[in-house]
Amino acid sequence: MLSQTCPDCKVPLFKLPSGEIICPSCNRRAVFTSSNEVEKVKVEAETTNELDDVILEKTRRLKSLMAKTDNPEQLEKLAKTLIILYDLLDRVRRTKI
């Protein structure tokens, strides 16, 4: 936990092992404009949720397709696609693209 707080919700910011500084309340990344000027914390616009939602919606559809099919080839395709989507989701959540 850092001594600096989020400019939006005033919750103390956290530094992740990756070096990223995040607000656990807003679930957003904070950027310091200067290492000496800790008051000037800028929170990046939240664009992750949109992509997050799209990926989750796609995985839901793929899961229902999976439940309906017994075709091994289709199952393999669906499984591979799900792996890719979950990997993407993980990246989106970690890096906040």
Residue ranges in contact with Zn ion by CB under 5 A: 6, 8-9, 23, 25-26
Name the closest residue to Zn ion (Cβ): 6
What is the smallest separation between the CB atom of 38 and Zn ion, expressed in angstroms? 15
Bridge partners, 15 (sequence order): 21
Cβ closest to Zn ion, residue 30 vs residue 78: 30
Report the alpha-carbon angle 51-87-74, nearest 5. Answer: 100
Cβ closest to Zn ion, residue 10 vs residue 68: 10
